[in-house]
Structure 1
Amino acid sequence: MTDERSRKLMKRLIERSIHEINELATQTGLTKRQLEYSLEKINELLALETEAKLVIENNRIILTNQLREHFIAILSDKTYAKGYLMNAFERSKYLYLLLFYYADEYLSINHFIEELGVGKTTIVNDLKNLTVELESKNIQLVYTRKDGYRLSGNEEHIRYHLMKMIILDSTENNTVFIYDQFIQKHHIEIVEATKQLIEEYTTQYGLSFVENRLIEFLYTFIFLKKRLLTTTTVFYDKFQLNALIAMKEYQFSKSILAQSGIEDESAYLYLCAWILGLSVGRPNDSTKDYETILELVKRIILRFEAISGIRFNNQELVVRQLYAHLRPAYYRLYFKLPIVNPLHNRIKDEYHELFNIVEETLKPIASLFEHPIPEDEVAFLTMHFASLCSNFDEYTTSQKVALIVCPNGIGSSSIVYTELKSLFPELSFLGPVETNEIERLSDSYDLIFSTVPNIRLFYTKKPVYIVSPIMNTQEKYRLISDVYTQIGNFNFKLPSVGKIMEIIQRHTAVLEGSALEKELYEYLINQDEPSQLDDGGPSLFEITAPELIQLNIPAKNWEEAIRFSAASLLKEGRITRNYIDTIIETAKKEGPYMVISKHVALPHARPIDGVEQLGMSISVLKQPILFGSKENDPVKYIFCLAATENNRHLNAMAELVNLLDDPQFYSLLDTCQDPYEVYQYLTQKKRSLVENN
């Protein structure tokens, strides 16, 4: 018998060939004793098929290719669940599947005991836990002698909970084998046959799913079909959009439901809305909603450029990438469909400045949906903008070619590609591609980077490196060491940060150990120009100065206001006169793009238009002036930005975004007479922020 701990440990082991025990314990969240126990359970499992086993030597584990292939096979094998001991959390999910699928049948505690093979006390506790969990989702688990156990509540909420479970388990938890066990045990249908049917219709109707979204749809559809026939359609009102009927997603839904004997208009519309929230948007398709989505994409790009101070050179590339994500995101938000981003917290931590800017960018868009945009969705868009903001300079390549495999979609793929190019400039990269393309490219690459462990990767007999789409500094450091040790210079070895820390601590007192350790990792990675996405760059007070702050400026019109606000930057040699002229000409062509919020303008142009040094001027007009923005006129506060090529200003922009919600800041700008007071306020704000963190 194996359990969740053993499974988690196997997943972690396959990522590298050598693991330090202490580090492995930290990564898995297990104590050393729990870790050793789980290793014993894994060795018992291995003993059934091979003489190889895991051995701890010198406080570390060395994983052979043979063992890695065994672990990948175990984790990929759907029959693995038959010998799997579920924990309480997993049993609760299984109970929900029973209650969801058999909504029209009598279910008792005895049914649950027989199904899960545990005692009555365990089931009673599991039902209590499930009841508490469901109540937080506005779903009730009720029992009557006549009807047994049933789910009660809004049918939309009941389906939403199933969808979210499956999304989490197919991405973050990688535990779809529990659903496979249920499907096989209850003879529902053959998963592979349903997958083939879905793929046949997606081809017929020209739809496109990201690999992981297809898995989500596959399992949810299998469990949902029966319920579409037997449950109420009261909540379908919001899906009654005439525009849906004209879409190919509607025809797809109608065709695939007909295969299951479902002929119901409400079911067609519900499934159509769901498909729209999953499939990839293709800007070349002449869909009914094309103009609507394109306009939304352009609004987001324009507002992001205005707030971030970045002007994208390749607008077509930006539009295409964001359209592919925004179309499904639009329908997820409109229909309130579940969205799970397993990288949400890591994105927010690693790219916190950019996340704040994207969140601010989306605020006006949220009004379209009458509810805030979830942070998971903000995080997805942050990944897109992170990849678009990076410099894609081509490097001279060597003979080594790396294939990037990523089944998680454009955002993850783009950021992985950007990160790996930065870490390994001497490699040539193919992809990103989905898993099913690796055989077609078999002779084209020397090594593989993948965001998901999959046994098919290891059958290629090429070196495989499992990476997170969002890597922290320590993970980047470890990856560099692994890659160069295996395929680069065999004598190459990065110094141990742990050993360096031990030496330092023996000879001196370390006040901020974690900060020192992080800085050592960053130094040893030795990136020539760290991206703003890893290091936020200078603060707002560091890119401005008292001599760049002007108060009570008289101006006759918007053009004069911009020229006055940029004058201090010109005087200090941070910009050329051409930079100011370009801002004016751009505003005449594109309109008041620089007006980013109520009474606030952020004039800026591209670095190549005349930026000599990073800087920002702060100007307060004596009298507010109309810039031509219907929503945010008149403008009184002008922040003129001069940004350099490496986008190192994003940290300062994130701070500015926060200041724009600070009434005290505006009050100071309106009343003070000394620019130095404003500058001091910015430095104090930054100091208090650092102290609070």
Structure 2
Amino acid sequence: MRDRTIKLLRTFIVSDFPISLTRLTEEFMLSERTIRNEINVLNDYLLENALPTLQTIRGKGLQLSITESQKKLLIQLIGSENQEQILTREERLLDLILSISIGKERVFLYQKENEFQISKSSLDEDMRRLRQMMKEYQVEIVSVPKEGLILSGKEKVIRTMIYSFVNKMVDNFTLTDELKNRSVKKQIIFSYISLEVFTKIDRIYDQCISASEDSLYRKNLVLFTSIWFTRLQNKGSLQMSAWVKKHSYTTPELKAFVQAIFETFSIQEEANERSYLTFMLDTFNPKNMNTSVEWGQAQMLSIQLIQHVEASTHIPFSKKEKDLQEGLYQHIGSLLSRVRYDVQFANPLKENIKSNYGILYQAVQSFTPEFTKLLGKELSEDEIAFLTIHFSSAFSELNQELSYFYRAVVICNHGVATGKLLSENLKELFNIEVLAVLSSREVALIEKLDVDLVFSTVPIEVEKKPLLIVEPIIKEDSKAAIADFLKQYNQYRRFSSNREDSTSMFSAILKLIENETKVTEDLYQELARIFRENQLSINTKELQPMIKDFLQDENILLNVEADDWQELITIVSQPLLKEEAITDKYIQAMIEAVEEFGPYIVIGEHLALAHARPEDGVNQLGLSVATVKTPVKFGHEENDPVKIIFCLSAVDSFSHLNIMRGLIDLINDEQKLNQLLQAETIEEFKLTLFN
């Protein structure tokens, strides 16, 4: 085909809408007769290659309606005749955002029209979609005379927007692909961010953080740093000092990485940019808790998420709570920071997780409104899939330790012997515990039995229980029907442990040791290891202290007066300071955290939980509480004013979780909260709280 014919075909390939003859004659500067002749040539070419021809849409024009696979085939066919590459709309959008945001050259639409070899209307549609995608970031594309297209918006938002675009469009970005095997999208990225920049940053990661690690954390960190540097080099730096933080909890490895970046690329000393890059990269790290905001909120959310998924799936995740909660709490901590700054990871395993762990994914997804309520932003499907991975790992471990069964009743009118035979067959062939064999006259008894499913040899009506009609004697075809029935109602499964619960033995040994010496964390972990090696399971949740174990009489303050929230935090923390559970530094850290990050400690209506990080001055686990005579405002839009405040000093991320659960229960129990506020004596307060 001639170049003109190929260019015309390109126009139809990239257009999602019908194109009128009038528009074609204007864009190609040809007569309508010539255009019609070209279309005939195109249709002959399409027929020769067994592809759909151009169709006339009445009143609108001509359109090429082909599938994605047919489009790829056609692009390959044209490629063999024309060396210029045809980009898909998604690829063009990626090129546009990178050229405008980090490209060295000025960008003009007419140049992109020629570069992409598409019509003006197709490029206009590309720009419309790009502007729509940018709306959620509050960034605009502005056309400036002689300057071309530029981005208008906050610089920190523009940077995270670029990263999000690339991350969403190119899953599992890596430098290890051979150049010839790289996708078109990766080729586009390397045309704006040089391979040398990526390689240098990747080597710095080797030197400062890990030479062997090849994790998602590494890939995202290298990608973000590469985008940050290219944007800084070509478009300028931040024009504010908001990133110079009071508190820094960054790891020494990450500090060394940032230092090496500035030295390697000879970046002039800018405290603002250094602080910004350090902060943003720290949000990527699931091993670190950046601030006391994430520490507290991540603890609360991880507990609530486990409770929610367990209730939704009926899978006893609490049996694996220590490892599950630890992993979730660390992941959620970094997730909260990322989402606040519009940075969400792309998950290459997303579709696999949704397909193989659909029930778990849906359970996690149904909890995400809690994140949206807190952050004001929705979690992406990719981030939901990451949270699901934690549960799928715990579920796999549970499957090795637990067996499941269904509790059922059998209805049979063929006599006791036949009913018993059906019952025994169900127990033998499937994980079914038959609680009773009844006749059809005894159907009313089902409501009084703790059963999940009903199997009957005769048609009956049963309310609120899944029912399957089966033959008295189970044959091969009946087995398949029963298996499908059980699969359909797998939410009714009950779990039982294959291991004997040795929690009471573990607790007794600990008490015995306590009589002779102090139980240290190392001793506790060593004893737990011995139990695991001997296949003895323990429920660590039962070993954790409850609120009543740590809330002593002298730690309960009733009807206190405070002029402001700073004074209220100081007052409620005094019992812990007196018993040396905390230092003065901890009180100051709690106040400074609220000053810097807002009233995040107001965790429920009229309820606050004052806390900071364990390393901010905690000596031991402790809890105190104060009711407030005149409610105090913290500045929370929904939950002010505070009428009751707890102060928690935690030594680690796990030992206080039962205390946190108790506080979560209190958030959801308005009646109990009101009763606590009305308590006149400490005994009355304790009686209400502990019951």
Question: TM-score band (shorter)?
Answer: 0.3 to 0.5
- TM-score (normalised: structure 1): 0.43
**Greater RCO (CA < 8 Å, at least 6 residues apart):** 1
Q: Of the two, which has the highest radius of gyration?
A: 2
- TM-score (normalised: structure 2): 0.43
